[in-house]
Amino acid sequence: MLCALGSLILGYTDIHFHTLYSAFFHYSGTTDQVIVITTRLPRMLIATAVGMSLSISGVLMQGLTRNPLASPNILGVDAGASFLIVIAVAFFHINDINTLTWLGFGGAALAGIIVYFLSSLGSGGMTPVKLTLAGATIAALFASLTQGVLTMSEPTLENVLYWLVGSVQGRDLHTLTHVLPYFACGWIIALLISAKMNTLALGDNVAKGVGQNTAIVKGIAGLVIILLAGGSVAVAGPIGFIGIIIPHISKWLVGQDFRWLVPYCAGLGAILLLIADISARFIVHSGEVPVGIMTAIVGTPFFIFIARRGVFSRGE
């Protein structure tokens, strides 16, 4: 609540509490009230929804792959969604948020399938290291293809450059309302399958031994990841590291139980992205740093720490 309030009142133009109250309950169209309703409120709601979605998709991805380094940006899901959206904008001049959202879902699914296939090749099957390396490779491939498309279309570069860095600035409620149903479905399904994710985390053999249909659970979890990660990219661009930071913080707070991890990830993910967005408003005088850069500043050293202390230190 405090972070949401801070998002509404803090910025290049600070808003007084009285103005905030009057904007919601006694709207008269003053400049500060217009800023609250048309700029700050949509921005706060989008940051909240995207933060929740990215962190939930991250914890499900880590549970599904049993890889502590898994997250939408590390495994190339964000890059795949971004690539298809840039293709649509550059060559087909598509700007409809509904269409871009579905393209985001398709790109996320495509990248996820390729990474899963590549990491399963060879002896030993899928391991955390193979999954991470395959994800990094596919993410680099899609990022390079995206840059190639942008160099061929200067107008597209101007339109999507700020979006590609990851930002919640300049979005309106119309953008969020088109994606919110998909987000809501993803959040609800994640809660419903949380108990089954606990069983799946024990290993496929154990899960099958207690009667769980692991293929269905994995399929549903994958669908939720695509809905949440793809929708987030469509709304705010590829915002990195939320999906890897928050699950680990949540596990430190409440343990490994997905029935607690999912709601904790939702709350903490929203808080982190709101704090990053508020901080981004004060880094540059009379300007803003895209929130994707702020999360990368925090997330990069965290990722290195997890990599050194996690799967790589065990030599998997």
The answer, yes or no, to whether residue 123 has pLDDT greater than 60, is: yes
Paired tokens of 19 = 């103005």
pLDDT tens per residue across span 3-20: 888 888 887 777 888 888
Alpha-carbon distance of 290 to 140, in angstroms, equals 21
Give me the number of domains the chain comprises: 1
pLDDT band at 50 (very low <50, low <70, confident <90, very high): very high
pLDDT band at 159 (very low <50, low <70, confident <90, very high): low
pLDDT tens per residue across span 175-187: 888 889 999 999 9
pLDDT tens per residue across span 223-246: 899 899 888 988 888 888 899 889
Asked if 290 contacts 280 with a C-beta cutoff of 8 angstroms, the reply is yes
Alpha-carbon distance of 234 to 126, in angstroms, equals 29
CATH of the domain at 257: 1.10.3470.10
pLDDT tens per residue across span 187-231: 999 999 999 999 988 888 888 888 888 889 888 998 899 899 888
Alpha-carbon distance of 282 to 303, in angstroms, equals 25
Domain that holds residue 240: 2-8+15-22+30-64+73-314
pTM exceeds 0.95, yes or no: no
| Environment class of 267 (CB within 10 Å of its CB; exposed 0-12, middle 13-18, buried 19+) | middle
The reported pLDDT for the residue numbered 219 is 87
DSSP per-residue letters across 157-207: HHHHHHHHH---TT--HHHHHHHHHHHHHHHHHHHHTHHHHHHHTT-HHHH
DSSP per-residue letters across 124-145: T---HHHHHHHHHHHHHHHHHH
